[in-house]
Every structure is written in structure tokens, then in C-alpha cells.
A = this chain, B = another copy of it.
């Protein structure tokens, strides 16, 4: 296997694992956090809007949202179109958000500590160029 691919897969798994370590202090998992972050940023969204934005399949989001709902982070509300479920953050989510975001910021700083600003930009550009 091309060592570039091996490296990318390994680095990805490492980063997700470390993020999960950080989020464990807040009793969250990375994919749950991804959805909370998106909702805080964009406001209430339908399930479809969420999975299209995150580039994952619908059932993945359905499952994670169901879990978040049981844990009290979000509510499902019916839209004008009765097929749609609009996902809202709860008051608890809004209240706890800043502290979690701060933890994640620390994590991000730690993960990028060996790269200069230019190198981070380069890495972004290369990843984007690869996809295009």
C-alpha cells in the first residue's frame, strides 16, 4: 500500500482517538460533537441538511441524533413539511457548549503544534487539491 495512504489513515485514526479522549471529559463522542458544533454554528437544521453538509449517509445522522436526543442535547421538531424533522439544540447544549469548544480548541492547538501557520495552510491545500 502506498505509504501516503497508510500515513493518512493512521493520522486520521490517531486524531479521532485523541479527540474522543478530550470529549470523554464531557461525556461526548466525536461524531456527536460534530453535530452539536454544526447546529451551534448554523442554527436548527433538518436531518437531511445535516447529513448533506457532513457528507455522511442519512442513517448515520439519524442514529447519532437519536442518541443526542436521549442524552438531552437536542430535540427533534416537526417542520411545516410533515416529513421533515428539524433538530434544535437544547438549553443545556447552549450552556455547556463554550466549555467543550474550549477543550476542543486546546486539542486542536496541541495537534497542530508542530506545524507553522503556512504548513497548516499547505496541508489544507494539498488535501483539497487531492479531492478536486
Is A58 part of the contact surface with B, judged by Cβ < 8 Å?
A: no
Pick the interface stretch among A3-11, A65-73, A83-91. A3-11
In the complex, which residues of chain B have a beta carbon less than 8 angstroms from the beta carbon of A132?
114
**Copies of the polypeptide in the assembly:** 2
Is A122 part of the contact surface with B, judged by Cβ < 8 Å?
A: yes
Question: How many positions in chain A have a CB within 8 Å of any CB in the partner chain?
Answer: 37
Does A7 contact B127, Cβ atoms closer than 8 Å?
Answer: yes
In the complex, which residues of chain B have a beta carbon less than 8 angstroms from the beta carbon of A127?
7-8, 11, 123
In the complex, which residues of chain B have a beta carbon less than 8 angstroms from the beta carbon of A16?
9
Is A131 part of the contact surface with B, judged by Cβ < 8 Å?
A: yes
Pick the interface stretch among A44-52, A74-82, A104-112. A104-112
In whole angstroms, how far apart are the Cα atoms of A104 and B10 in the complex? 18
The 10 closest A-B pairs by CB, nearest first: A12-B12, A123-B126, A2-B108, A7-B127, A11-B127, A4-B124, A114-B129, A1-B37, A4-B120, A7-B124
| Chain A residues in the interface with B (C-beta under 8 A) | 1-5, 7-16, 34, 37, 55-56, 104, 108, 111-112, 114-115, 119-120, 122-124, 126-132
